[in-house]
Amino acid sequence: MGRFRYPLKKAGWAALTVLFVIVLNFFLFRILPGDPARAGLRDPRLTQEAVEAIRVRFGLDKPVINCFENLNPLKLGSCAVNPLQTQFVIYIGNLLRGELGISYHSNRPVREILAERLWNTLLLVGVGQILSIIFGIALGVVAAWKLRTRIDYGALVGSLVAWSLPTFWLGIILLFIGSRHFDLPIGGKATPGLASSSNWEEWLDIGRHMILPTITFTIIFIGEYMLIMRSTMVDVLSEDFVLTAKAKGLNTYQILKDHALRNSMLPMVTIIALNLGFTVAGAIQIETVFSWPGLGQTIFEAVGRRDYPMLQGAFLVIALSVIFANLAADLFYSYLDPRVRAG
């Protein structure tokens, strides 16, 4: 049983976080001033009957929660209602069935739209992350090895500058240069109306659209990975086993590859997991600049259109992905380094 205690504890906390996010997600949209019932229905041309019909269609005619006289300073909900008929219970029920509501803007189920867009985001984020991890680690190792030389300082300053760049601005600048001087597409995922004769051509077109967003992503994240790798590597390289390896007559390449790199990889796993929140933030900005049809752009569009079910659904999907990815990283880390399970 002892083996499972750590994973179970971690999973328990993840579940609690999920619950918190769900409750937060529901009440934020009901309590804050721009509540959906008012904001979504502002068109003055709508007749009273039409407004009522829309409210019924989206379930906004029902009270938010059942009345808890003492717990309810906000005076939400009426007391004469069956608790099962409140928006909160209906929302939770729908959620359990995987329903996220209907988009105010497109009148399509939110789940359907998000499912399409999730894959686009994963494609963009996945490629960008892999590239930035590879380059970040390589740069970090070189900088640590060449500590206090020009190469090190160059890499250090470069990383700090990369870290300071606003993601969206770097995207704008690259888009400006790329679309003007390198004939790269200005946005989207595929050329509209392109009659591809084969799958290969279609993928090539998507690849061309991905070049600029991916470069932006890589530059933004390379800095942090490099800084972490560098400082971990410096620590590892000052351990005695490195001196032993050196005394044995191993060359620098062997020491770096077989002795130092392996031992420096552990902190990277944590950092990559902790970075997921920033990854999402980066995705929102990059997708907005490059009109990439992913979750980030969905959030941006939903804000502009006051499409609350869409915004609510997108936030939930993003938050849940980050929570689960964090859990996965925790468990993976404890598998790699059994010591953390004891602690």
Which parts of this chain interact with another protein (CB under 8 A)? 13, 16-17, 20-21, 28-29, 32-35, 144-145, 147-148, 160-161, 163-170, 172-173, 175-176, 179-180, 186, 231, 234-235, 237-240, 242-243, 246, 252, 255-256, 276-277, 280-281, 284-285, 288-289, 299-300, 303-304, 311-312, 314-315, 318-319, 322-323, 326
Tell me the C-alpha distance between 188 and 288, whole Å.
Answer: 10
Q: Which residues partner with 109 through β-bridges?
A: 102
**Minimum CB distance to another protein, residue 196 (Å):** 27
**In the Cβ-directed half-sphere of 112, how many Cα atoms lie within 13 Å?**
7
- Closer residue to another protein (CB): 52 or 152: 152
Q: How far is the CB of 25 from another protein (least distance, A)?
A: 8
- Nearest 5°: the CA angle 234, 236, 241 is 135
| Nearest residue to 285 via CA among 338, 238, 219, 239 | 219
**Nearer Cβ to another protein (66/296):** 296
Q: Give 3-state DSSP helix, strand, coil % of the chain, rounded to 5.
A: 75, 0, 25
Question: In terms of CB distance, is 52 or 179 closer to another protein?
Answer: 179
CB of 234 to another protein, least distance (A): 5
Query: Measured between alpha carbons, how far is 322 from 108 in angstroms, rounded to an integer?
Result: 25
Q: How far is the CB of 178 from another protein (least distance, A)?
A: 11
Minimum separation from the CB atom of position 110 to another protein (A): 15
Query: 169 vs 335, which CB is nearer to another protein?
Result: 169
Q: Which residues of 146-172 are buried (b: 16+ CB within 10 A; e: fewer)?
A: eeeeeebeebbebbeebeeeebeebbe
Q: Which is nearer to another protein, 66 or 295 (CB)?
A: 295
